[in-house]
Structures are given as C-alpha cells and as structure tokens.
C-alpha cells in the first residue's frame, strides 16, 4: 500500500472495478453503475483510494445505492478532513441512513463542512448537559438562592427553575456558545429579579384564593380580545427593561455577548404589528429606544423603561396603551419568532411553581400549627396532658376551636410585634417564633391567611390526640436488653423520666452486589482517599536536636561539648521535644434510617459509608457505625452495623449493604444511646457524626420545636460528656434549625445528595486535622 503511495500512479478504471467486485463478492452489481460511481476515483491517489475502498464492505450490505453515493462523495470528503476520520464519517453516515433514510444520509455526505467537520473542531454547538455543571453554581451565586436549571425547547422560567434550550449552536465556537447560554440564563434571571411575572399594577384584576392556579397577569391578558398580542408586547417591553437591568448589573456579560446576538432585522416579517415587535426586539438588543416609532408612545416613554426605577407596572401600562392602538389593526395574529434568550413567557409554569411553593409552605405551616396545638400547655386547653379520650371511637370528636391572629405586616413598629396570637377555645396563646415566621411567610405569599390551613391543622391536632399509642412491634431480636432514656421537654424545662425505650438490633443481612458495585465505581477515589488518610496517620515521637524543647538531648550536648573542647563551633541544637500529634480519635457514625431516605438518598448514604470505611482503615482511628429509626417513644431503635472495636470485614460490608429505610426520625434517643456507648471509650477526641436527611420527627406529636429542642438537648448532653457532635444533612430546609440544634460550625449542608459519598470522607478529614 505504502509503495504505491510513493509512486502515485492512478489505478485506472478497470483495476478499480476489479477491486470493487472483489470487495462486494459474491454480489454482482451492475457494471455500468459501478463504473459511474468509480469515475471520480480514477485519477485519485491510490493510497486514498485504498482508504475509501476499505469502507465499502461496511456500507454495501446496508444499502447499495448509499455505497454508490459514498464512492461519489468520499474524495471530496477526504479533502475536508484527514483520512483517519473517514471511519467516523462513514459510521455517522450509516447512522443517518438508518434514522432518516437515503436522503438524510446524502444530505449528511454533501454537507461535510457543516455536518461533520465543524463537530470535529468542536464547534457544532453546545448541549445543555455540557454547560449545566458550570452554569448552575453561577446562577445560584447570581441569584443567591437555590435556582435550578433544566433543558427545554425554549428558554423560559417558572421562578424556581430556569429552562434553557437543549442546544445552542449559533456562534462560531464552543466558548461563544457557552456565552450565549450564560446570557440566556442571566436574562431569565433578570425577569425574575425585576418582577416581570408579578407586576404591582392597578390594571391587574384582584385575585382571590379561588384563582390561585392562575396569575393575575394571565387573567389580565385573557380578558383582552387578543391575549397573545398583549403578552408578546409585554414580553418585549419587559425584555427591554431586562436588557437595561443586565447592562447595569452585569456589564461585562452584556458587552461580550452583544455582538454574538442574532440580528432580528434580517428576518422578513410582513404586517405592521410584526414589524413593530421586531423593532422592539432590536431595541432590546441595542438598548437604544430611539426611532422605534411606536404608535401613541413617545420615545421618552420607552426610554423610561431603561431607568433603574422603572417597574413591571410601567411596562404593563405601556403594553396596555400599545395594545389598544394595535388590536384593531391585526386580523389573525401570529407571534413572531422570539429572540432565543427571551424565550417564551410561560405564565402557566410560573403559576404552577407558585402553587407548588404555596402548597409546600402551607404544609409546613399546617405542620407547625398542628404541633403548636398539640404541645399547648394544659392550662390553655391544649390536648397534650388533657383527658385523653378513654373509650374507643372517640377520634375526631375533640377538634379545638382555633383562630390565628396575625396582623400588622411588620409596619406597625413595636405594636406589630405583639400582634401574633393563637386563639384556642377563646384563649389567647402567644405563638412561637417559627410558627409566627411561617405565618408571615404565608401572608406574604398569599396576601392573607387562608382559613383552610387553620382548620386543617385544628382537625389534625384533634385526630392525633385521639389516636392512642402504638404498642411495640414484634421484630428482630434485640441485641441487648432495651434501655430507657429521658426525653427533654422544653416547655416544662425538665426531663420526662424514662420516656423512651431504646432497643439495639442487628440489621437483617441481605445479599446484594451493592458493595462490589460501589467499590468498583469509586475505585480511583478510594485509592486517593486511602493515600490522603494515610498521610494523616501520625504517632507520638521525639524530635531530636531542636533549638528548644522539654528536655536536654544528651547526645547532642556531649557532642557539642566535645566540639567546643576541640575548638569547633558548638551546635545550639541541644534539646529534645516531644511531638504530641498522636491521633487518638474515636468516631461514631450515626445514620438516619428513616423512611424518607428511600431511594437515592439511602444509596448515597450507603456509598458514603463504604468510602469512609475504606478511608478509615488507613488512618487507624477507631470508629463505629449505627443506624437509627423507630416509631413512637416506646419503640426507638438503633441498628448495629459496626462496633467501635469491630474489624471492618465482610460482615460489616454486608450490613452496610443491607441498610434499608425503616420508619421515623426520633433522633434524640439515638444520640443519647451513642453518648452512653461512648461513656466507656477512652479517646482524646470522641466524635459523633450524624448523617441525616431531615428534621427530627416521629409519628406522634414529636415534631417541630419540641423535637428540635429535645434533639438539641441530647446534643448538649453529648457535648458535656466530651463528645463532639457533627451533622451532615441534605435537608433543604436545614438552615432554619441546624444552626440552632448543632451550633453554626457543627453542621454542614450538602445540596446534592450525589455529592455525599465524595464529600463525606473529605469532611471527616477536615474535621479531624
């Protein structure tokens, strides 16, 4: 092959035909067809011809005509990319053929430059999943909250998530396409930031709770004869405002992106209204409102939108004026193509996200209120210590009469602070902070306090009170005799004596491939972790020949005296020092095995445990692992996975693999149990690492403030016993109570559960070094 390349003597049509027939044998294709297809190749470099023909056996069986097409195009294609890429090109061609038929494949083959070579140079556009990792922290930093990113056909946002196109390929290279992605995300953020979806305007109809499923803005548009036109006008005006906003907030981004944006003027739109919308788009791109020529609107009005003090209400008023002028002039209205970064205004999504948010808020509020009602001191008619319904069938009979008074939205100064009351059976009770805070959030969100929240909380409280204690379940044999622990009742500032019964159980071992899969999956990481942890391993040792220290280094002293006698300059390094950086650490890992850890969370926790075990084996710290769960105070359970001194072996691994979600999260008894386990452990540092996915909570009235205070107290007890508790949580609402429960520096929140396995050993390392 190489020798013929040196000579470069064209092969001639007959030789080519012969080669071809031998390649496709035993088929006997039409001779004239082959001749026609091979014509291109007769004068070509035989080395290239060899390359080209080598692909024939792959294509011929798929489609004969595709093969002829290929022979016609291949030489041209090879002028665009190196011969080594030919296989890839052919594969892609076959793909196209199988998906879109001969024509698609032909199109692909003719457009070598755009379809294939661009991608070879990495410039065929950027996909969403390639940019998400980089954009997500960016947008979260920008917004200062937990915004999410998701792919969609067109850019839009619902207030919780920003949707971005699946792919952007407008610009020449990847970096520029990324910039366009970033611009789109920032632009959608600008809509949120400037309140596009919730203008505070007198034009909007008043919405009661009945219309909660719809935005006032959507209702306003729907009340007009041509809602799409009005919505489009509004979107364009708001885009102008958003562009001005970005120009002020993120000048660098706007400066860099502005040249990459497509020019809407190149689109041919007919009709006055469409042209007008395009003029508005231009204005949005250039930030220059002069000469847009809107009917009935002065340039100065439009210019006002560029000012920082302009609001969505201004845009809406302007939209209304424009709409009245224009609505008569269009027969059937078709929206022009929006600019890609504007995307569409999905008021339905915004409304849905708002309902979701409201529902979640409502649930949390009802929960908190239920708890408040259940934990009312007896004097105010609370059900807690009051006559529990003795006979059966009493459920639901004792729904307390509840009213919640929350006036003054913080404007009334001192007076307003006193205005939050809970009225139960006509007695006023002051609400706790959490409930009041939630109540205010509810009022902010809804504009008023929906009565259904209060009634449903009252109902739930009544039912919970009526339900009796669930007896202890018959389950696995307990490992040791059950122990009782006190429970802290913050309302009375004292313990409920021997309130919880804690049983320690063995996890029923199930066989699975979990461990092997995890070890394989994190192989590289485990090796790295082991190295890292090995470096932390240190022991007590003497440092000799120091300039100062606790004792004299006799060897050095003798030497120095000898030196001095001999007339040499004596050394001043004459001391020994004891370096006491011995790691005397015992750690217990307490794992939340509540119901809510089902699925991903549970897997991540298990993986994290495997990783930490692998790493711990290297550092040599003693460690134990326990899981906890349970239901009600009489059945608190801890599950033994690994005792402190137990070696990490196959059994322990199997137990980790068998961790499965159980019931509720009554955390405090488990913490007290761990404290008791630590009592006879002698270590300089005793560390209790709690892995949790949410608030402490149990089936009964162990919820809210009561549960948090009890857990907090259990942690305080642990601390006073010389144990350092530390919590790793993945609960998104954790901020509200974590700092209170653990103290600010003693907990960490991991926003993505998938990161847990990687982060956990890292956290442990930082904690103990």
Nearer to another protein, 357 or 759 (CB): 759
How much is the CA Rg of the chain, to the nearest whole Å? 36
Q: Which 3-state string (H, E, C) describes 113-126?
A: HHHHHHHHCCCCCE
Nearer to another protein, 536 or 605 (CB): 536
Question: What is the number of H-type helices and E-type strands within the chain?
Answer: 29, 19
CA distances for 306 relative to 26, 237, 297, 314, 654, angstroms = 75, 10, 15, 11, 64
CB of 205 to another protein, least distance (A): 36
CB of 473 to another protein, least distance (A): 37
Neighbouring residues of 727: CB distance < 8 A, sequence distance ≥ 6: 689, 690, 691, 692, 738, 741, 742, 746, 747, 748
Rounded Cα distance between 179 and 88, Å, is 29
Strands in 660-721 per DSSP E: 685-692
The strand order across the sheet containing 148-152 reads 148-152, 161-165, 156-157
Nearer to another protein, 578 or 679 (CB): 578
Nearer to another protein, 57 or 251 (CB): 251
Angle at 323 between CA 317 and CA 326, to 5 degrees: 150
CB of 256 to another protein, least distance (A): 7
Nearer to another protein, 121 or 547 (CB): 547
Instruction: Assess whether the previous peptide bond of 69 is cis (omega < 30° from 0).
Output: no
Rounded Cα distance between 290 and 304, Å, is 12
Residue with tokens 């009890």: 710
CA distances for 526 relative to 115, 239, 761, angstroms = 42, 50, 10
The residue among 298, 335, 646, 679 whose CA lies nearest residue 483 is 679
Nearer to another protein, 531 or 769 (CB): 769
Nearer to another protein, 492 or 565 (CB): 565
What is the DSSP secondary-structure string of 421-487? EEEETTEEEEPPHHHHHHHHHHHHHHSS--HHHHHHHHHHHHHHHHS-PPPPPP-SPBSS--EEEEE
Nearer to another protein, 267 or 735 (CB): 735
Nearer to another protein, 509 or 552 (CB): 552
The backbone torsions φ and ψ at residue 473, rounded to the nearest 5 degrees and listed phi first, read: -85, 155
Tally of CB atoms within 10 A around 55: 21
CB of 536 to another protein, least distance (A): 12
Nearer to another protein, 483 or 721 (CB): 721
CB of 413 to another protein, least distance (A): 23
CB 464 within 8 A of CB 700: yes
CB of 747 to another protein, least distance (A): 8
Nearer to another protein, 247 or 381 (CB): 247
CB of 733 to another protein, least distance (A): 12
User: Considering Cα of 518, then 523, then 524, then 530, what sign does the dihedral take?
Assistant: positive
Helix (H), strand (E) at residue 546: strand 541-546
What is the DSSP secondary-structure string of 215-262? -HHHHHHHTSS-HHHHHHHHHHHHHHHHHHHHHHH-HHHHHHHTTTS-
CB of 572 to another protein, least distance (A): 5
Rounded Cα distance between 145 and 137, Å, is 10
Nearer to another protein, 490 or 724 (CB): 724
Residue 159 C-alpha from the chain's centroid: 15
Nearer to another protein, 112 or 687 (CB): 687
Nearer to another protein, 521 or 735 (CB): 735
Q: Which residues pair with 148 in a beta bridge?
A: 161
CB of 464 to another protein, least distance (A): 34
CB of 579 to another protein, least distance (A): 8
CB of 574 to another protein, least distance (A): 6
The strand order across the sheet containing 575-579 reads 541-546, 575-579, 551-552
Q: Any alpha helices (H) in 536-580, and if so which ranges?
A: 554-565
Nearer to another protein, 168 or 748 (CB): 748
Residue 255 C-alpha from the chain's centroid: 30
CB of 751 to another protein, least distance (A): 4
494-506 vs 636-642, strand pairing mode: parallel
Nearer to another protein, 574 or 708 (CB): 574
The strand order across the sheet containing 585-592 reads 483-489, 494-506, 636-642, 622-630, 585-592, 685-692, 723-729, 747-749
Rounded Cα distance between 543 and 356, Å, is 63
The backbone torsions φ and ψ at residue 234, rounded to the nearest 5 degrees and listed phi first, read: -60, -45
CB of 669 to another protein, least distance (A): 23
Nearer to another protein, 143 or 658 (CB): 143
The length of the chain in residues reads: 769
Tally of CB atoms within 10 A around 659: 22
Nearer to another protein, 111 or 769 (CB): 769
CB 150 within 8 A of CB 108: no
- Phi/psi region, residue 567 (left: phi>0; alpha: psi -120 to 50; beta: rest), is left
Interface residues with another protein (CB under 8 A) are 133-138, 140-146, 182, 186, 249-253, 256, 547-548, 560, 564, 570, 572, 574, 577, 580-581, 685, 687, 724, 726, 744-746, 748-749, 751, 755, 759, 763, 766-769
Rounded Cα distance between 427 and 741, Å, is 31
């Amino acid at each position: 092959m190489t020798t013929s390349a040196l000579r470069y003597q064209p092969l001639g049509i007959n030789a080519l035909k012969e080669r071809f027939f031998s390649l496709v044998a035993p088929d006997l294709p039409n001779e004239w067809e082959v001749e026609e297809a091979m014509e291109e190749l007769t004068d070509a470099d035989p080395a290239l011809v060899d390359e080209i023909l080598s692909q024939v056996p792959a294509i011929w069986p798929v489609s004969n005509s595709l093969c002829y097409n290929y022979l016609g195009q291949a030489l041209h294609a090879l002028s665009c990319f190196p011969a080594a890429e030919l296989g890839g090109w052919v594969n892609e061609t076959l793909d196209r053929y199988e998906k879109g038929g001969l024509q698609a494949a032909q199109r692909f083959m003719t457009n070598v430059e755009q379809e294939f070579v661009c991608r070879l140079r990495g410039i065929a556009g950027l996909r969403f999943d390639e940019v998400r990792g980089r954009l997500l922290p960016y947008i979260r930093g920008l917004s200062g909250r937990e915004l999410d990113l998701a792919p969609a056909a067109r850019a839009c946002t619902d207030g919780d998530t920003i949707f971005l196109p699946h792919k952007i390929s407008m610009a020449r290279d990847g970096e520029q396409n990324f910039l366009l992605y970033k611009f789109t995300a920032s632009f959608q953020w600008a809509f949120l930031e400037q309140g596009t979806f919730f203008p505070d305007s007198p034009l909007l109809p008043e919405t009661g709770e009945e219309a909660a499923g719809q935005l006032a803005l959507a209702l306003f548009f729907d009340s007009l004869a041509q809602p799409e036109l009005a919505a489009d006008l509004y979107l364009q005006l708001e885009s102008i405002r958003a562009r001005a906003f970005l120009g002020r907030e993120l000048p660098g981004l706007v400066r860099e992106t502005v040249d990459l944006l497509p020019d809407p003027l190149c689109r041919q739109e007919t009709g006055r209204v469409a042209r007008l919308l395009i003029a508005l788009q231009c204005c949005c791109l250039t930030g220059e409102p002069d000469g847009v020529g809107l009917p009935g609107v002065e340039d100065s009005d439009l210019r006002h939108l560029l000012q920082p003090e302009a609001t969505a209400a201004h845009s809406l008023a302007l939209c209304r004026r424009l709409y009245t002028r224009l609505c008569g002039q269009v027969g059937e209205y078709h929206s022009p193509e929006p600019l890609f970064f504007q995307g569409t205004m999905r008021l339905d999504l915004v409304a849905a996200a708002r309902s979701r948010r409201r529902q979640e808020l409502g649930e949390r509020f009802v929960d908190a209120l239920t708890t408040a009602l259940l934990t009312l001191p007896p004097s105010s008619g609370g059900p807690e210590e009051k006559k529990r319904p003795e006979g059966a069938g009493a459920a639901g009979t004792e729904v307390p009469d509840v009213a919640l008074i929350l006036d003054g939205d913080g404007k009334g100064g001192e007076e307003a602070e006193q205005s939050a009351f809970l009225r139960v059976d006509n007695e006023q009770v002051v609400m706790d902070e959490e409930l009041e805070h939630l109540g205010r959030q509810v009022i902010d969100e809804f504009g008023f306090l929906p009565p259904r929240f209060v009634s449903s909380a009252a109902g739930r409280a009544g039912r919970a009170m009526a339900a009796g204690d669930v007896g202890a379940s018959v389950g696995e044999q307990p490992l040791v005799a059950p122990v009782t622990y006190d429970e802290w009742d913050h309302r009375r500032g004292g313990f409920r004596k021997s309130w919880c019964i804690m049983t320690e159980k063995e996890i029923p071992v199930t066989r699975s491939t979990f461990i092997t899969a995890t070890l394989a999956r994190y192989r590289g990481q485990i090796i790295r972790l082991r190295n890292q942890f090995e470096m932390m391993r240190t022991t007590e040792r003497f440092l000799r020949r120091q300039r100062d220290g606790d004792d004299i280094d006799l060897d050095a002293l003798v030497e120095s005296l000898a030196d001095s006698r001999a007339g040499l300059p004596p050394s001043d390094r004459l001391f020994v020092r004891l370096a006491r950086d011995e790691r005397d650490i015992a750690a217990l890992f307490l794992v939340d095995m509540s119901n809510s850890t089902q699925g991903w969370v549970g897997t991540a926790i298990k993986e994290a445990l495997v990783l930490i075990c692998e790493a711990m084996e290297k550092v040599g710290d003693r460690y134990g692992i326990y899981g906890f769960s349970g239901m009600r105070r009489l059945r608190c359970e801890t599950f033994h996975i690994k005792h402190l001194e137990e070696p990490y072996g196959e059994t322990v691994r199997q137990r980790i693999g068998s961790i499965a979600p159980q019931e509720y999260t009554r955390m405090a008894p488990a913490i007290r149990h761990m404290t008791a386990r630590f009592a006879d452990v002698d270590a300089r540092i005793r560390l209790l690492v709690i892995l949790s996915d949410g608030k402490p909570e149990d089936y009964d009235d162990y919820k809210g403030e009561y549960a948090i205070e009890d857990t907090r107290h259990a942690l305080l007890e642990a601390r006073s016993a010389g144990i350092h508790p530390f919590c790793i949580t993945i609960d998104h609402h954790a901020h509200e109570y974590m700092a209170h429960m653990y103290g600010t520096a003693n907990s960490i929140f991991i926003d993505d559960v998938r990161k847990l396995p990687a982060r956990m050993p890292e956290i442990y390392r930082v904690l103990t070094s």
